[in-house]
Structure 1
């Protein structure tokens, strides 16, 4: 009985110490050279007004976090890649992973049946590193399509532009 109790306690400890995207986000949102935003609950209406192209690409979003790092040293970039690897190793399934010297791209998801419920989309080049966290109901094929570099860039630009447009309304008549 004592061995079972110790075993269960150890499992609980390991699970509770697991990395999360929220932890990654919180650890780096105040780093110099970082742009980040997350959509709080009171702004969920903003997500329902995203552009039709972005909505078609990803589906229904209930949580959204974005973080972008510019002007990274080689050490900092490697550290970020190691951290995101720890996050995706805790309950996520890799849909796509490319690791090379100039570009690391990771698309990892959690699924419920045939629906993707959580997605981490991470892209790191020598010039910048971008990470997204999306929670909602997504078509797995559409998430997988972001493995293409052009599709990822187009998606990133559209999503950021749509988000900025919806939170910074024009006050001109």
Structure 2
């Protein structure tokens, strides 16, 4: 019964607040176990250093957001999936959606003619929930390639490794 009320209240809040990827990102970036980043304009060079395969898959990026949530309960995972479903109902077209008991994968896009302008790539398993938001000009077939789990995992690893390598903040006043 308690779980029902939590889901009901969360659903009401989702509908009342309006749903966007930025809202999803803002709501969860401070959660315990969350890893997240946005790539501001002055750091676009970070994205230019990714592997050729990743560049080929994603194309020209104007905005990029990433969030990973780990150590979430099953109830929280279901709430994250429900929240992402609300986001993708806001003008997005599902390119790929697979809902299983232990895994949910969603690839949703906004199009302008034959070009994808916005893409959300969402993957939720018992091990963790991952979401990417890409804005730019992309080939729809390239975005659809993320439905393949190996492509998704390779993209994630390469991008995170590259981002972490190029983002090396120093708090040493002598540097």
> TM class, shorter-chain normalised?
0.7 to 0.9
Matched, 1:41 2:45: no
Q: TM-score when scaled to structure 2?
A: 0.84
**CA offset at residue 56 of structure 1?**
1.1
Contact 2:104 2:123 in 1 (8 A): yes
Three-state SS of the structure 1 residue aligned to 2:83 is helix
Q: Give CA-to-partner distance per residue, 1:37-85, whole Å, 9 cap, x none.
A: 0011221222233332211111011100000011110110000000000
Who is 2:166 aligned against?
Answer: 166
Structure 2: runs of 5 or more not aligned: 1-15, 170-175
Q: Residue in 1 aligned with 2:19?
A: 19
| TM-score, normalised via structure 1 length | 0.85
What's 2:59 paired with? 59
Q: Hey, what does 1:144 align to over in structure 2?
A: 144
Report deviation, 1:17.
5.2
Work out the number of aligned pairs and report it: 155
Distance 1:26 1:18 in 2: 13
Gapped regions of structure 1 (runs ≥ 5): 1-15
Matches within 5 A, 1:120-135: 120-135=120-135
User: Are 2:98 and 2:105, in contact at CA under 8 Å, matched by a contact in 1?
Assistant: yes
